Amino acid sequence: MSQPRPYKVALNGYGRIGRCVLRALFERGAAAGFEIVAINDLADMASVEYLTRFDSTHGRFPGEVTVDGDCLHINGNCVKVLRSATPEGIDWAALDIDLVLECSGAYHTREDGQRFLAAGAPRVLFSQPMASEADVDATIVYGVNQDCLSGDELLVSNASCTTNCGVPLLRLLDQAIGLEYVSITTIHSAMNDQPVIDAYHHEDLRRTRSAFQSVIPVSTGLARGIERLLPELAGRIQAKAVRVPTVNVSCLDITMQTVSDTDAAEVNRILREAATSGPLKGLLAYTELPHASCDFNHDPHSAIVDASQTRVSGPRLVNILAWFDNEWGFANRMLDVAGHYLQTAAPLSASNIQ
């Protein structure tokens, strides 16, 4: 389908993911096919400009960033900065956009999504999993199920960074050698819901502890998220997560009991071939080098298989390790899903949004 003009999008929320999405869009250049029209965030303009220009994890912005009133100029493009605490506080229709990229992480139900639509947003792509399957028209992991979009969806979720890493690998191996049971440990970098030094947390005693003094077990919805995308594995997946004292890049440690006998060489061959050809090329990477996590900072892949860590115990107990940049990789998938979503999107009418 031809694209006569760049798709116009607005960012709701300008934290870690929102800023990475904007930066990824500009780093991709004109080929990205998007124009960011507006950002909605409660931060003051000086902070918005400063954190766009300078990022402790991803470095300086590769372009010119200036401010003029409520306009954030990026390489000469004016991005209007809005400040509303609620979706209803913005006339989204007046922005003449094609899509809202919801990057605040604050909205998880269909009722939340309807608030954007009622305020004039044409469609919403969420940067987080929704509370249930019923709360969204589709949950997409790019490279796996984007072709299920019919064009009529108004509320779509980009799942999570961990789901984007795990689902392609599990589907690939399930199709190749069959999976009976799966156990996953997410080893995740610290996040902004953790304090630098001990402080109160509204729901989790462990997250009262300093992010940079401990490895901290946290809850995770990864198993549930995978089952939504791979229902054939429902009831056969368990997952847990720990946060570690690093600022970016995470990994999945995945243990699988397989249907077929296998060995490490076969598992690595399956993963290596998928990384070099087929639907996962460009999304899945494969390495045999002795890497550390910081080597994958600013890496756009959904998953990077560390072949040196593949283990097989007996004929059918397989363990693999896959790295992912939990910020940059996910932000790039937001753009991939947004592009595919809008290419398939049906023209909107009043009946679509009611």
Catalytic residues: 161
For residue 225, CA distances in Å to 50, 98, 213, 228, 237 come to 35, 27, 29, 5, 10
Token readout for 319 is 């363990």
Could you give the CA distance from residue 154 to residue 117 in angstroms, rounded to a whole number? 8
- Nearest alpha-carbon partner for 326 in 249, 270, 258: 249
Q: Which positions ≥6 away from 181 have C-beta within 8 Å?
A: 236, 237, 256, 257
Name beta bridge partners: 312: 318
Say which amino acid occupies 290. Answer: P
Q: Whose CA is closest to 182, among 133, 241, 227, 242?
A: 227
Name the residue type at position 146. Q
Cite the DSSP H helix spans in 29-127: 45-53, 110-118
Tokens of 163: 């789901």
